[in-house]
Structure 1
Amino acid sequence: MTVTAVNYAKVLKELSVSEKSIQDTREIFREVRELTESLENPLVPFESKSRIIDRVIPEDMKNFVKVVCKHHETGLLKEIFEDYDELCRKQAGITKAVMWYVTLPKPEQLEGIKAFLCREFQVQKAEIEMKEDKSLIGGFILQAGGREYDWSLRGRYRKLEQKLTRR
């Protein structure tokens, strides 16, 4: 998360751009990799880039994309959209977490983890992205709000190893 991307995301949030246009623009950049390459290319004149933007980007997103392009920050668009999503979640009182696990937690365990996240970050709702990682040996790792909670066996082994080597 760069400061520049966060600032662009804040501007995008303040603009009166429809959610559909933002999602459509995100999809265009995700699906057409050549578009990002063309807009990032310093050898392509801005006038040509502007014509491309006028042809493929939704109307209420054109000016935003042109400004990003003019300041040579097109490579940050993916990050800008991610930061925009984070701002929207924050405003809605939602936190996002990533959970690496060995064994998928039971629904009641998952609800307990969500309740923990809501208390910890003072939010109304927690969304958890689940990722399997057998290298943890057992347990899980939870990342949210720039913090990491390591309840894995691999993490506990490392802590024990550090403790023993300090003696």
Structure 2
Amino acid sequence: MTQTADRYGKVLYDLRVPAEDVEQMKAALCAAPQLVKILNDPTLTKEVKHEIIETIFPKSLHNFLKTVSDRRRCDQIDDMLESYRACVRKEKGIVAATLYCVHEPDENQKAQMEQFVRKTYGVNGVEMTVEQQPDLIGGFVLRVGDREFDWSLRGRVRQLQQRLIRR
């Protein structure tokens, strides 16, 4: 994520736009991905782009989207939304975590992971994303922010190799 996208995401958060409006914007952009190209198109006038924005998106987002479009940064909207969501999570005391594993964990295992993250980071909640990675061989890797907890067989083999090389 670029610093620019991060700043725009924080501005969107600071505007206190209703979460429903942000979700509606995201849904519209997902439903019609060509909108991003249209709003970034240098051959269209600002007036045309502004009319499109006013027609499709909620009123609370008009000024924000007009600015993003005028500066031709619509291709960074996904990163802006991720920054916005990070601000919302921080306000609510929630941390985002990604669990990489060979097989989908059951509900009890997920609950234990979430409890570990809550205890380790002192947060109220965890937004857990699970991604399957067969190349881990077994075990799992838990990534929270820039910190990684590697309890995979692949990671254990790598640690053993490093110990043997150091000797």
Segments of structure 2 that go 5 or more residues without pairing to the other structure are none
Change (3 A) 1:19 1:106: closer
Aligned length: 167
Cα deviation digits, residues 66-117 of structure 1 (max 9, x gap) = 0111122111111111111111111101111110112333434332321221
What residue in structure 2 maps to residue 9 of structure 1?
9
What residue in structure 1 maps to residue 20 of structure 2?
20
What residue in structure 1 maps to residue 157 of structure 2?
157
Q: Distance in 1 between matches of 2:150 and 2:110?
A: 16
Relative to the length of structure 1, the TM-score reads 0.91
Matched, 1:70 2:67: no
What residue in structure 2 maps to residue 136 of structure 1?
136
Aligned-residue sequence identity (percent) comes to 34
Structure 2 letter corresponding to 1:72: R
Q: Distance in 1 between matches of 2:149 and 2:3?
A: 25
Cα deviation digits, residues 37-75 of structure 1 (max 9, x gap) = 111122222222112112111111111100111122111
Structure 1 letter corresponding to 2:109: Q
What residue in structure 2 maps to residue 55 of structure 1?
55
Give the Å deviation of 1:164.
Answer: 2.2
Deviating above 6 A after TM superposition, structure 1's stretches of 4 or more consecutive aligned residues are: none
Give the Å deviation of 1:119.
Answer: 2.3
Cα deviation digits, residues 134-167 of structure 1 (max 9, x gap) = 1110000111122111110011112222332344
SS at match of 2:43: coil
Q: Distance in 1 between matches of 2:99 and 2:68?
A: 33
Which of 26-35 and 104-113 deviates more?
104-113
SS at match of 1:43: coil
What residue in structure 1 maps to residue 88 of structure 2?
88
Give the Å deviation of 1:127.
Answer: 2.2
Q: Distance in 2 between matches of 1:81 and 1:16?
A: 13
What residue in structure 2 maps to residue 107 of structure 1?
107
Relative to the length of structure 2, the TM-score reads 0.91
